[in-house]
Structure 1
Amino acid sequence: MVFAGVFGLLVGSFSNVLIWRLPRGESVAFPPSHCPKCDHRLSPLDLVPVVSWLGLGGRCRYCRAPIKARYPVVELLTGAGYAAIAALFPLTTFGAGTLGLMLLFTLLLVASAIDLDTYTIPDELTLPGVALGLALAWLNTRSGAAEAGGLPTLAGAVQGALLGAGLLVTIDLIGSWVLRRFRERQYPEQPTGYQQIALALLAGAWLGPWWGLAAALASAALNLASRRVVRIPELVTLGGFLVSVALGGTGFGPGLILMVQGALAAAGAAALVAGVYWWLRREPESEADAPFDPSAMGFGDVKLAAVIGVFLGWERLLVALVVAVVAGAVLGLVQLALRSENRVKFGPYLALGAVVALIWGGGLVAAYWGMLGL
């Protein structure tokens, strides 16, 4: 635990670099650490976690500019989080899974800090995070740590990632449709985007997740071949999905549970494919002035949910979502009572829910299944 805590302090120091540089598109390796105010290169004595900030009185040694208290806070939180993970998930039992959970903690903390500052969650955190989560799940499956410690196997990690992304993107799709008063999108993405995700949602309900993804890819290929957006009416895709769920509830078709699982997993797969595509094809100019349709949820939250699902599995992901919604509602009521503006996006709440699910999720899930007699 002591070693993990010290290691966490060092990782927390690097996390501060990520928090500052990723939103600005800067390299996280070069140039070396420097004061953002005077650009003076920092010496090793300036970089000792927590101690340097306290010793310098929260100011730069060279220009005396104030240094945010966030720096030692991030370092302390990371150190405490790593020590707690080492205690709850011993390396001797969980192997690489312990390191994976530490990585998840860092991803959540960095994403939350950036979201609080910029209202965005960088793809450089979430999409590689999903890939790393899958790799660690494969190692856990091979070593037997997944079965011994309750971590998701590779199949469970894939399911968690797809259902996590699928659930949040479905909320976004339907919520955005309502915000537009059921009008069609004015600015559909080319060649892949929300229209293809909605198509995957409908097709996945009837054909399963992989055929749903295939339908989305076929639609994107058609857009590429025709060099324009071939519109898919949301009245057909989203409306068809809602009708399908209603029919499944009556026992028609594959059944309600299988239809919902297939639809969400297909939508999650299509969302992740679209996320990777737009990450690789990102335009250098700012997206702030680009036209957009009203959105019920940020797409960064969709990818963050995939990260949580791939590391924790779909059951603890649901715990994280419930905690996030409750925490957001409570803070919203407090801010309403204080008549203050709510400037916290959903990402930090989702990260808080993931930490709760990481620590107590196993017990909560077991208690829930026990209540159902399962």
Structure 2
Amino acid sequence: MTTDLFVALLAGVLGLAVGSFLNVVVWRVPRGESVVSPPSACPACSTQIRSRDNVPVLSWVLLGRRCRDCREPISARYPLVEAGTAVAFAVVAFTVGPAWTLPAYLYGVAIAIALTLIDIETQRLPNVIVVGSYPVVAVLLAVAAWGSGDWSSLLRAAVGAVVLFAFYLLLVIVYPPGMGLGDVKLAAILGAYLASVGWGTLVVGGFAGFLLGGVFSIALLGARSAGRKTAIPFGPWMLLGAVVGMVVGERVWDAYLSTFT
């Protein structure tokens, strides 16, 4: 087994556990509840979930998708979040390998999943996750820069965070109904991640969010599933745009620049 594959498998197992925790975060944070205590319980009968019934994905299958005590159905979202987080962790780990940047990227994946689900359900990006991630992301990117010796990536991250934050803040000032302050705060995190890779990644990732969100909005209008005043969560599109930037940003930017040379 290659080192990259081994790291990916470990990351996948970690992703299952993290995904289970993200289910708690997505349920409790919007309600202002602690994610630490009390222990997880069935939302229907309030019975505390037993340890043997709290194994990611497997418990949902073995319980027949129902609570052991009250037999109320358990939403398929729980195993999907757990499995999805595991797959995302494994893919990122296999792509990056045992690099110093891996912890930062895995943390980014985790908060992206949580924020996407929360924003879709509540149209909010909670400060406890977004602003609370500022020092975490800063430390993880600093450790990555120290480990790799690439201090320029940390400088780019700092500049990128400020630039994308300022750009979104300007948009809110010019047209307040267009997006919320949660999007502005999230922009700082995405700017740091994107710019740490490169300036092309920052430009492409930042633009892709608007492009994808715009296409989705036009599609809803065309299908008459939404009106001009319908509020559409923009956070998920910002996050998806950032993924596009991280994956193909530098190649797209280089191809764009090559058209002028």
**TM-score normalised by the chain length of structure 1:** 0.63
Alpha-carbon shift at residue 145 of structure 1 (Å): 5.5
Partner of 1:181: none
Partner of 2:41: 34
Partner of 1:350: 238
Partner of 1:199: none
Alpha-carbon shift at residue 144 of structure 1 (Å): 2.2
Paired with 1:118 and 1:360, the residues of 2 have a C-alpha distance of 30
- Give matches, 1:198-347, under 5 Å: 295-313=177-195, 315-341=200-226, 344-347=232-235
1:130/1:161 contact within 8 Å kept: no
Partner amino acid for 1:298? Answer: G
Partner of 1:161: 161
1:137/1:146 contact within 8 Å kept: no
2:194/2:205 contact within 8 Å kept: no
- Give matches, 1:150-189, under 5 Å: 153-176=153-176
Paired with 1:359 and 1:77, the residues of 2 have a C-alpha distance of 18
Paired with 1:115 and 1:344, the residues of 2 have a C-alpha distance of 9
Partner amino acid for 1:361? Answer: G
Partner of 1:61: 68
Paired with 2:78 and 2:128, the residues of 1 have a C-alpha distance of 21
Q: 1:56 to 1:343 in 2, by over 3 A?
A: farther
Paired with 1:370 and 1:84, the residues of 2 have a C-alpha distance of 30
Paired with 1:145 and 1:73, the residues of 2 have a C-alpha distance of 38
Alpha-carbon shift at residue 174 of structure 1 (Å): 0.9
User: Considering only CA atoms, is the larger Rg found in Structure 1 or Structure 2?
Assistant: 1
Paired with 1:320 and 1:73, the residues of 2 have a C-alpha distance of 26
Partner of 1:84: 91
Partner amino acid for 2:163? Answer: L
Q: 1:343 to 1:36 in 2, by over 3 A?
A: farther
Deviations for 1:39-91, whole angstroms, at most 9, x for unmatched residues?
11111222111122222232222112222222122112211111111111111
User: SS in structure 1 opposite 2:132?
Assistant: helix
Q: Tell me how many residue pairs correspond in the alignment.
A: 248
Alpha-carbon shift at residue 363 of structure 1 (Å): 2.3
Partner of 1:137: 141
The percent identity for this pair of structures is 35
Q: 1:57 to 1:358 in 2, by over 3 A?
A: farther
Tell me, yes or no, if structure 1 residue 359 matches structure 2 residue 247.
yes
Paired with 2:149 and 2:111, the residues of 1 have a C-alpha distance of 22
Partner amino acid for 2:134? Answer: V
Gaps in structure 1 of 5+ consecutive residues:
177-294
1:130/1:310 contact within 8 Å kept: no
Relative contact order, CA 8 A, sep 6+: which one is greater?
1
Paired with 1:27 and 1:20, the residues of 2 have a C-alpha distance of 10
In angstroms, what is the RMSD of aligned CA positions?
Answer: 1.8
Deviations for 1:193-252, whole angstroms, at most 9, x for unmatched residues?
xxxxxxxxxxxxxxxxxxxxxxxxxxxxxxxxxxxxxxxxxxxxxxxxxxxxxxxxxxxx
Deviations for 1:24-47, whole angstroms, at most 9, x for unmatched residues?
111111111111221111112221
Partner amino acid for 1:83? Answer: A
Alpha-carbon shift at residue 164 of structure 1 (Å): 1.5
Alpha-carbon shift at residue 357 of structure 1 (Å): 1.8
